[in-house]
Amino acid sequence: MSMLSAKEKWSYATGNIPIAVKDAAFANFVVFFYTQVHGLSGTLAGLAMFVALIWDAVSDPIVGSWSDTFRSRWGRRHPLLVVGGLPTALLFLALFAPPAGLGEVGTCLWLVCVAVLLRTCLTIYFIPYTAMGAELSSDYDERTVIAKARITVAWLAGMALPALAYAVFFRPVDGVDGRLLQDNYWNYSVMSAGVALVAVLVCVLGTRTVIPRLPVATKGRPFRWQDPVQDFVRALRNRNFKVSLGANLAFGMSAGLSATLALYLGTYFWELSSDQLAGLVVPTAVAALVAFATLGSLGARFDKATLLTAASLALAFNALWLIGSRLLGWLPDNGHPLVYAMLWLNTFIGVFMIVSLQVLGASFAADVLDEIEDGSGQRQEGVVFAAQAFVLKATTGAGALLGGIVIDLAGIAPQAVPGQVDAAVLHNLGVFALVMVAGLALIAAACNRRLRLSRQDHSAIQMRLRGEQVGQRSLPPF
């Protein structure tokens, strides 16, 4: 396939913003909103997130297989971007607007229903979107460039939205912490819906020129309901796919748990103000941009599997050193400038490693697709990226469930006032966060060490595939 123009690449990258909007909402605010503002228990809030995640386990492979076989005059990906993307944006309005008087069970059911609907529409949008990313190039290094662009855009949007929320929407009102006021969350949801809608339109319109150059579904039987299971079982025959799936699940839960607990740790454990929380956007943005600038050169020197292992280990260590220092009494009291400076450093390292894992993981998945095609003769972008999407959603789903349980186990009460929480409760919160986040990151590192697909291996695969495509012409050339 010919090289992407700058317009096509960045329009495609912009299409990753809706998932960033969802992650920003679910990771930073949803559990906090339903527990601290509406009094829902942390376990029920986490359980609602987990139920939606279980539904994703069903819907993701269905949409993946369907997308691979879909045929239309606009290709097999773009129609689904429209069908899924537009309602996804609108559902953000319902996320922070549960009707009054529902009670705890009713509120939980509302959260389950909205989360399931939102995730379903996002699945219809996001799986074809990520599958298209693997089709835009077959080059080992250009795939990393494409992944860097879309993930960096998502990170910049994902950190800008909460920062703007803290700086504008969650300001104190008449002495009441703005994070405890329901109306502020409605304003945030309106902003989220608008950003997601614009991003979908930019992606669809800006990438319409690549439609003639994308592979089309091969002629044959239409989609069948048993296809997702059969396709997934076929993909599991590939060793690297199985190992990377385990690594990404562990990494997703580690990052998701960390994101879910971040507002609790910032508000109660570190006693940060809204302005200080908004200020963490600076190391977040810098880390995302540094990752974008350096991953290309690192990828040219080291295989992706090596970098994935190193980033997982660094993520585990980063979860240990700062909270561990507070628990051991090595840090000055909250409010000291040194504590905030160390939080900046901790945020920078964590974001750099998470961005690196996301970029390299997406690029490695595209390489695994070639390996699967080399072994089976079939391309399964939708199936493989359905699994990737499921893992990405685990970042907020399973992470929110674990986070909700941790909140209850630690003893954080609804409407708790920062600075007035019992020291034993804060100690428990820190211990649970440290052990679980670092432990899951170490599991991811152990899995990544078992990946076996080097640059040389991929070059050999590409040579075989090019030879087959020249001889058979079963798909449009890449």
- Classify residue 41 by burial, with Cβ atoms within 10 Å: 0-12, 13-18, 19+: middle
The pLDDT of residue 343 is 95
The pLDDT of residue 388 is 67
Residue 478 lies in a domain: no
Residue 183 lies in a domain: yes
Residue 400 lies in a domain: yes
Residue 187 lies in a domain: yes
In terms of residue numbers, what domain contains 465? Answer: 6-224+232-472
Residue 268 lies in a domain: yes
Residue 477 lies in a domain: no
Give the N- to C-terminal CA distance of the chain in Å, as an integer. 4
The pLDDT of residue 218 is 57
Residue type, 105: V
The pLDDT of residue 31 is 82
The pLDDT of residue 174 is 77
- CATH code (residue 193): 1.20.1250.20
Specify the number of domains making up the chain.
Answer: 1
Residue 1 lies in a domain: no
Segments of the chain scoring below 70 in pLDDT: 1-3, 216-229, 377, 379-383, 385, 387-401, 468-478
Q: Provide the phi-psi class of 146: left if phi over 0, else alpha when psi is between -120 and 50, else beta.
A: alpha
Q: At what angle do helices 423-448 and 239-264 cross, to 10 degrees?
A: 160
Q: How far apart are CA 286 and CA 299, in angstroms?
A: 20
The pLDDT of residue 478 is 28
Residue 451 lies in a domain: yes
